[in-house]
Amino acid sequence: MEKGFVENGFIIDLSNTKNTTQLVFELSSVMEHPEVKGKRICLKLGSQDLKQSQLLSIKALIESMDAEIAFIDTTSEQTEASAVSLGIIISKLGENVEVASYTASEQEIEEETVEVKEEALEQGSVEYEEKTVEVHAEIEREDVELISTIEGIEDTYTEETTQEISEIIPVEHFETDFESLAKSEGLITNEEMSKYIILDTGDVLPEGTEENTVDTKTLPTLYLNQTLRSGQTVNYEGNILIIGDAHPGSEIIADGDITVWGILGGIAHAGSKGNITAKVRALKLNAIQLRIAGLYARRNDTLNVPYVQKTNEFTPEEAQIEEGKIVIYKKLRRD
Amino acid sequence: MTGRVIVITSGKGGVGKTTTSANIGTALAKEGYKVVLIDTDLGLRNLDLLLGLENRIVYTIVDVIEERCKLKQALVKDKKNPNLQLLAAAQTRDKSAVSAEQLKEICEKLKETNDFVLVDCPAGIEQGFQNAVAGASEAIVVTTPEMSAIRDADRIIGLLGPKEEITSVKLLLNRVRPNLIKTNEMMSVDDVAEILEIPLVGIIPEDTGIITSTNKGDPIVNNEEALAGKAYRNVAQRILGEEVPFLDLDEPKGFVEKIKNVFAKLKAKV
């Protein structure tokens, strides 16, 4: 696999990969590199046929690492069509430009190659930018329909769902699109894809408490403006509101709702006295365990984040019990 | 069934007690033995992270002691190997939440149904250490080839000596770097063993794979290729009574080094 340098970005050559699975894994192994953050990625995809959903997944993977796709280079018509419908720029990397292979020990070469790549990138993208704009305008209408019919991707951010609250699709499976791609390749099963998996704990409600549906709005609220660190516990007979992050190893236990205006990384137990209407919400819901009333769920092992991942990109989520399951909504809603 | 209770201790922090516990436990479980790992580092627990089990912990050792749950309920099964179970420490409490007697009782109960009970001891020689040692009949002292770690290991061996219940104390030398030993920048395995005067149970080479395996929550013994993983598997074999030779940690010699050696020999002859 070849990797090269472009202006504030990388060329990642995946044209030698045999199938989509290999492609994604090669790509994710490169994306793990800390230098990738904030960079523009140029993908050489060779003759790989990628469906729109698959390309969308790859895009999501790259964006999840705080990078963006600058353009892709492909010889496959299907991939090209998918890219056009997703508004991804297609370009040809100059054949005469040698892509310098990049390894950690070859850092010195960087400066020399940067200039060459810069040219290649600029030429390539300018040439094609016009083309994509044209084509894109034509299919724009179909585009909307297409996205909603993609199998396995529940896009809760589309306009329809934001307007009609009743139609929000519960995101029980936290499907980053990379996962649905992996699923289509048979790499992971349904159960492995859920963001949270119910723990079989037996009867865990404390003695003398029963399931109830007290309106959490009627409960008092504890307001905390601080970071909760490992080993710290907050326990309150009402709702808890935390302005700050709750680090892994911390515990928040509330009779009512738990709201974290920040990253929730520790354990959160809402409705700890059996209130099954209690909710947990956070700007980034990454709790190692989510507990609501007597229902305990562990974070999926595939989301292995042993430390708090500090981020400025927040994806507010809200968890609640529905039909004996913990369901996570990607949108905060009002009753 | 009466299992063996082995405490893994060191005195000094950061020498690899928890890594050692996780790896020996996993290696023994892979051999088909029933193993329970007990994390006694209350308030600074890590063993669950190394095994990737943090998200499964509902009850801790403190809940067992304060009778909020049964012992069996608090045991967390490993993801890969059901023979391996973890009794986690409480993160929100401190060492005083447990007494030596209570820990001893838990060890007694666990060894009835398991082949091995491995107790991961906290750093220091205070109550946490006294608790961890209470139920054990064997000890593995982990140290690195550094003066400070060796001094602390020596202190620990001295404290373990008078305890009648502990019948065997063995040494595990961690983070050995053969190239530094060669240039006399690091104490050799023989030097350390000579200073501490207890039998060696293992020599683990420094391995950057440990860092990734810790971050992934997957002990390095599960990696068939890693040298440290192999070394830990050998430790498990020795615990089981097998005689396994220590790994040859010398890296294969390069061409230049070979030539140097030839010249050195020639010089010696002259």
Per-residue pLDDT tens for A13-50?
Answer: 777 777 777 777 777 777 767 677 777 777 888 887 88
In the predicted model, is pLDDT for residue A300 greater than 80?
yes
CA distance A275 to A217: 12
Q: Which two tokens stand for residue B228?
A: 């440290």
Other beta carbons within 10 angstroms of residue A123's beta carbon come to 15
Predicted confidence (pLDDT) per residue in A227-264, tens digit: 999 999 999 999 999 999 999 999 999 999 999 999 99
Q: What is the pLDDT of residue A94?
A: 54
Which residues does chain B have within 8 Å of residue A296's beta carbon, measured at their own beta carbons? 58
Domain containing residue B63? 4-269
H or E stretch covering A305: none
Answer whether B110's CB lies under 8 Å from B36's CB: yes
Which residues does chain A have within 8 Å of residue B55's beta carbon, measured at their own beta carbons? 288-289, 298-299, 301
Amino acid (one-letter) located at B115: D
Nearest residue in chain B measured CA to CA from A202: B73
Amino acid (one-letter) located at A242: I
B226-to-A9, B20, B204, B205, B218 alpha-carbon distances in Å? 33, 15, 11, 10, 13
CB neighbour list of residue B268: distance below 8 Å, 6 or more residues apart: none
Q: What is the pLDDT of residue A24?
A: 73
B55·A298 Cβ contact <8 A: yes
B55·A301 Cβ contact <8 A: yes
Q: Which of A110-124, A184-198, A246-260 has the lowest mean pLDDT?
A: A110-124
User: Which one has a higher pLDDT value, A127 or B145?
Assistant: B145
Give the closest-approach CA distance of A192 to chain B in angstroms: 13
CATH numbers and ranges of domains, chain A: 2-149 (no CATH), 198-329 (2.160.20.70)
Q: What is the pLDDT of residue B18?
A: 96
Q: What is the CATH number of the domain that holds B76?
A: 3.40.50.300
Which residues does chain B have within 8 Å of residue A289's beta carbon, measured at their own beta carbons? 55, 57-58
In the predicted model, is pLDDT for residue A115 greater than 60?
no
Answer whether B25's CB lies under 8 Å from B37's CB: yes
Q: Which two tokens stand for residue A229?
A: 């660190």
Give the closest-approach CA distance of B119 to chain A in angstroms: 21
A335-to-A170, A211, A222, A277, A278 alpha-carbon distances in Å? 15, 21, 21, 12, 13
In the predicted model, is pLDDT for residue A104 greater than 60?
no
B182-to-B186, B187, B204, B261 alpha-carbon distances in Å? 8, 9, 16, 13
Q: What is the pLDDT of residue B266?
A: 63
Q: Which of A3-17, A97-111, B203-217 has the lowest mean pLDDT?
A: A97-111
Which residues does chain A have within 8 Å of residue B57's beta carbon, measured at their own beta carbons? 289
DSSP B110-177: HHHH-SEEEEEPPSSSSHHHHHHHHT-SEEEEEE-SSHHHHHHHHHHHHHHTT-TT--EEEEEEEEE-
Q: What is the pLDDT of residue A204?
A: 59
Burial class (CB in 10 A: 0-12, 13-18, 19+), A222: middle
Which residues does chain B have within 8 Å of residue A306's beta carbon, measured at their own beta carbons? 49, 54, 215, 217
Nearest residue in chain A measured CA to CA from B45: A249
Q: What is the pLDDT of residue A145?
A: 38
Q: Give the total residue count for chain B.
A: 270
* Stated pTM of the model: 0.65
Q: Which of A201, A289, A306 sits opposite B215 (nearest CB)?
A: A306
ipTM metric: 0.82
> Helix or strand or coil: residue B257?
helix
Looking at residues A59-75, what average pLDDT do you find? Answer: 78
Q: Which of B55, B79, B92 sits opposite A289 (nearest CB)?
A: B55
Domain count, chain B: 1
pLDDT, averaged in runs of 10, over chain B (270 residues): 93 94 97 96 93 93 93 93 96 89 96 96 94 95 94 94 93 91 86 91 93 91 93 96 84 59 59
CA distance B57 to B79: 12
Count of A–B CB contacts within 8 Å?
36
